[in-house]
């Protein structure tokens, strides 16, 4: 039975499973195929026996494929930090027509000439689309207005152009490159900030060269610091779970290895770890923490964030302990406390 057929059987039928994984924790990098929603992936993992709270970092449209980071257990509370990491995409457009959804799943709403487009003209368009910009989300998007996703309003004919403009957001285009070009068709690579709609970038590129376009292929190549080469096919995950050979060390990235963008402090010994778990405030000194440079230090707070900012706390073994906060900064150091446990209580 194919993957899409299996997905449908999960939705509408019952899939039995005899193996389960106890208390998984961390990030499971999945290659999401086309034809599935991000939630479909979570449902499949659960049906196959991955018993854990789950959350994905950023959704992927059913028509797109690529990197889908799935957070497991207490790691789900780190979603907001991982969302801040840049994302990368590869996308292909066909010039000359545009759909209402700006992708191949929509209805054609306009045509425009495209024979005049040259590689040089497209390179100029690419150069003009970089940097910070105010982006108007497409009507068929997950952006919410008064609790309703725009795509639901669009289906009801209520997602007007004015409403979309009101929901504009500032995004950052770090890099945009033209990879391939033939008459009427082009492939691009993009590195951007969270909240960027690739379909809108394609529309802007087409407008620059005097045409319109539709995204026909979209692949996310990097998200949350995870690249395509690090992702597992769903068939691989299924085989491991169904056979009882699912190895967390092989499949799951531990919290301490994730691209959270947080300053990290490591407890000096088991006693310090337990005091943090107990909610005690600890001063940053050699008795409590390993120095940022990997050596014990009585005073090495220069690289710490300001008071009230979040940090990642590690056990003496180097595994994740929890999220902490810098309570106070002072002349001879600082004071920290844990605010949320992330790791296993016993290791």
CATH at 17:
3.30.70
Please tell me the predicted confidence (pLDDT) of residue 21: 41
Please tell me the predicted confidence (pLDDT) of residue 300: 47
Do 67 and 140 belong together in one domain? no
Do 251 and 179 belong together in one domain? no
Q: Given the residues 40, 61, 65, 103, select the one marked as catalytic.
A: 61
Q: Which residues contact 288 (CB under 8 A, 6 or more apart)?
A: 267, 268, 272, 275, 282
Q: Which helix (H) or strand (E) holds 243?
A: helix 234-243
In angstroms, the CA 283 to CA 250 distance is 36
In angstroms, the CA 312 to CA 55 distance is 20
Do 64 and 102 belong together in one domain? no
Is the model's pLDDT at 75 over the cut of 90?
Answer: yes
Do 75 and 187 belong together in one domain? no
Mean pLDDT, range 147-163, rounded to an integer: 73
The strand pair at 26-32 and 232-233 is best described as: parallel
Please tell me the predicted confidence (pLDDT) of residue 334: 79
Please tell me the predicted confidence (pLDDT) of residue 304: 63
Mean pLDDT, range 34-39, rounded to an integer: 91
Do 145 and 195 belong together in one domain? yes
Please tell me the predicted confidence (pLDDT) of residue 186: 98
Is the model's pLDDT at 30 over the cut of 80?
Answer: yes
Biggest alpha carbon–alpha carbon distance for the chain: 71
Do 248 and 312 belong together in one domain? no
Do 185 and 251 belong together in one domain? no
Contact 25, 75 (CB under 8 A): yes
Do 96 and 200 belong together in one domain? yes
Please tell me the predicted confidence (pLDDT) of residue 296: 39
pLDDT tens for 187-218 read 999 999 998 999 999 999 999 999 999 999 99
Mean pLDDT, range 144-154, rounded to an integer: 73
Q: Which residues contact 131 (CB under 8 A, 6 or more apart)?
A: 172, 173
- For Cα atoms 108, 113, 116, give the angle at the middle one, nearest 5 degrees: 145
In angstroms, the CA 98 to CA 212 distance is 6
Please tell me the predicted confidence (pLDDT) of residue 5: 37
Q: Which residues contact 218 (CB under 8 A, 6 or more apart)?
A: 61, 63, 64, 65, 66, 89, 90, 91, 92, 103, 198
Domain membership flag for residue 21: yes
Do 184 and 204 belong together in one domain? yes
In angstroms, the CA 82 to CA 77 distance is 10
Domain membership flag for residue 347: no
Do 243 and 179 belong together in one domain? no
How does residue 270 score in pLDDT terms, banded at 50, 70 and 90? Answer: very high
Active-site residue 61, yes or no? yes
In angstroms, the CA 322 to CA 332 distance is 25
Place of tokens 């997602």: 159
Mean pLDDT, range 159-180, rounded to an integer: 85
Please tell me the predicted confidence (pLDDT) of residue 308: 85
pLDDT tens for 96-132 read 999 998 999 899 999 999 999 999 999 999 999 989 9
Supply the range of the domain harboring residue 336.
262-341
Do 73 and 124 belong together in one domain? no
Do 33 and 110 belong together in one domain? no
Q: Which of 205, 238, 255 is the last residue of a domain?
A: 255
Contact 24, 49 (CB under 8 A): no
Q: Which residues contact 324 (CB under 8 A, 6 or more apart)?
A: 265, 276, 310, 311, 312, 313, 336, 337, 338, 339
286-292's contacts with Cβ under 8 Å and 24+ in sequence apart are 289/265, 290/265, 290/266, 290/316, 292/263, 292/265
pLDDT tens for 276-305 read 999 999 988 878 888 644 443 444 444 666
Instruction: Determine how many CB atoms are found less than 10 A away from the CB of residue 345.
Output: 6
In angstroms, the CA 109 to CA 97 distance is 8
Domain membership flag for residue 346: no
Share of the chain above pLDDT 90, in %: 63
Say which DSSP state 142 is in.
Answer: S
Please tell me the predicted confidence (pLDDT) of residue 8: 33
How does residue 259 score in pLDDT terms, banded at 50, 70 and 90? Answer: very high
Instruction: Determine how many CB atoms are found less than 10 A away from the CB of residue 221.
Output: 19
Domain count, the chain: 3
Share of the chain above pLDDT 70, in %: 86
- 246: helix, coil or strand? coil
- The CATH number of whichever domain residue 186 belongs to comes to 3.30.2350.10
Estimate to the nearest angstrom the gap between the alpha carbon of 319 and the chain centroid.
22
Domain membership flag for residue 105: yes
* Beta-bridge mates of residue 326: 336
In angstroms, the CA 338 to CA 325 distance is 6
Contact 13, 212 (CB under 8 A): no
Place of tokens 């003209």: 121
Domain membership flag for residue 186: yes
Contact 91, 217 (CB under 8 A): yes
Instruction: Determine how many CB atoms are found less than 10 A away from the CB of residue 180.
Output: 10
Distances (CA, A) of 120 to 116, 124, 254, 255: 11, 6, 45, 45
- The CATH number of whichever domain residue 274 belongs to comes to 2.30.130
Domain membership flag for residue 49: yes
Average pLDDT, whole number, for the chain?
A: 85
């Amino acid at each position: 039975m194919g993957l899409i057929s299996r997905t449908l059987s999960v939705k509408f039928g019952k899939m039995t499973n005899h193996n389960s994984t106890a208390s998984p924790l961390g990030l499971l990098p999945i290659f999401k195929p086309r034809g599935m929603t991000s939630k479909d992936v979570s449902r499949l993992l659960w049906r196959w026996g991955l018993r854990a709270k789950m959350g994905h970092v950023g959704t992927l449209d059913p028509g797109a494929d690529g990197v889908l980071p799935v957070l497991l257990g207490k790691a789900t509370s780190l979603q907001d930090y991982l969302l801040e990491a840049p994302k990368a995409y590869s996308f292909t457009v066909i010039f000359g027509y545009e759909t209402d959804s700006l992708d191949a799943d929509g209805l054609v709403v306009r045509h425009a000439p495209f024979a005049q487009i040259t590689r040089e003209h497209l390179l100029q368009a690419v150069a003009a689309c970089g940097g910070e910009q105010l982006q108007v989300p497409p009507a068929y998007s997950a952006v919410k207005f008064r609790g309703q996703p725009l795509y639901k309003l669009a289906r009801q004919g209520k997602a007007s152009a004015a409403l979309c403009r009101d929901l504009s957001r500032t995004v950052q285009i770090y890099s945009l490159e033209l990879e391939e070009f033939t008459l009427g068709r082009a492939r691009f690579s993009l590195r951007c900030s969270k909240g960027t709609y690739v379909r809108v970038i394609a529309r802007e590129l087409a407008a620059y060269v005097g045409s319109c376009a539709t995204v026909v292929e979209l692949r996310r190549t990097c998200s949350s610091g995870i690249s395509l080469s690090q992702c597992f096919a769903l068939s691989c995950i299924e085989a491991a779970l169904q056979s009882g050979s699912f190895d967390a060390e092989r499949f799951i990235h531990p919290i301490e290895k994730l691209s959270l963008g947080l300053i990290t402090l490591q407890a000096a010994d088991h006693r310090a770890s337990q005091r943090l778990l107990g909610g005690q405030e600890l001063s940053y000194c050699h008795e409590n923490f390993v120095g940022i440079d990997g050596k014990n230090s009585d005073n090495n707070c220069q690289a710490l964030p300001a008071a009230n900012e979040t940090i990642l706390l590690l056990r003496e073994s180097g595994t994740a302990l929890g999220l902490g906060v810098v309570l106070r900064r002072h002349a001879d150091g600082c004071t920290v406390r844990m605010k949320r446990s992330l790791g296993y209580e016993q290791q």
